[in-house]
Amino acid sequence: MKYKTIGAFKGVQNVPYCKADADMAVGMGVILDRVAKTAKLPASAEDAKGCFRIVSNINDRPEAHSFEDSVAVLKDEYVRADDLTSVANLEIEFAAPEIATEYSDLAVADKLVFGVGGKLEKATSVDGYKIYFEIIGLTAYRGAGVLAVIRVA
């Protein structure tokens, strides 16, 4: 996952002090409990519909030497959870591994939503979802990716 414009990098609001309650990765939808200071993946369809934050790695581990280390957020590590409502209508790019739907089944104008477990999936309807992503292009990001506009329902 990466934002496509400098405006998104500058404008996104995030919460950096919650710890992952399970292993997760950059680009997954995450739900925060700011009182308990924990971040969890959506466990139900209702959780997924209300999910509006995305994992964006803090990358504060000096031992992280590989790309895979940079996208992994392990249990009990801090998560930077970006609030996607603060960057509505801006562009974001996702790689195929961040999407549960088979890449060959994706096309321009399709809509992606957070699913149970936090990965993105193609949706025929976005009714009831707080956030969705409208695909505006297929890209070569990390081998195969999509360029999408962040939409707030």
Per-residue pLDDT of the chain (153 residues; tens, 9 = 90+): 999 999 898 999 999 999 999 999 999 999 999 999 999 999 999 999 999 999 987 665 556 556 666 688 999 999 999 999 999 999 999 999 999 999 999 999 999 999 999 999 999 999 999 999 999 999 999 999 999 999 998
Q: What is the pLDDT of residue 71?
A: 82
Q: What is the pLDDT of residue 60?
A: 58
Instruction: Report the candidate in 143, 54, 151, 67 with the shortest Cα–Cα distance to residue 109.
Output: 151
Distance CA 153, CA 50 (A): 11
Q: What is the pLDDT of residue 62?
A: 58
Both tokens assigned to 12: 């996104």
Q: How many helices (H) and strands (E) does the chain have?
A: 3, 13
